[in-house]
Amino acid sequence: DTGVSQNPRHKITKRGQNVTFRCDPISEHNRLYWYRQTLGQGPEFLTYFQNEAQLEKSRLLSDRFSAERPKGSFSTLEIQRTEQGDSAMYLCASSSAGSSYNEQFFGPGTRLTVL
């Protein structure tokens, strides 16, 4: 399967714990995005990487959130001191800079539940 993969698929944690999610983009894609989707809503943009550089961050990305893409391949999203309001599906997408439309392809997501 050459699509975007995300791990874990599900994460249940207690309030105040730290969690980390991983995204592996489509291999030739140099652009990577993180979105958050809550129940009954469309995905909301969190942050964007081109290669290893984080070029855009949403104001939704509070200082408890940090994302990295150290070698320009996979990316991690860490949430520190989780809150119940962080419960959501965290989606990763990737695209190719060579694509004229910059089509973004999404992974299956990581569903986070904070108790």
Partner 1 sequence: QQQVKQSPQSLIVQKGGISIINCAYENTAFDYFPWYQQFPGKGPALLIAIRPDVSEKKEGRFTISFNKSAKQFSLHIMDSQPGDSATYFCAAKTSGAGSYQLTFGKGTKLSVIP
- Enumerate binding residues for partner 1 (CB under 8 A): 4, 6, 31, 33, 35, 40-45, 48, 55-56, 58, 91, 93, 95, 101-109, 111
Q: Least distance from C-beta 55 to partner 1, angstroms?
A: 7
| Cβ proximity to partner 1, 70 vs 101, nearer residue | 101
Rounded Cα distance between 25 and 46, Å, is: 16
| Cβ proximity to partner 1, 17 vs 32, nearer residue | 32
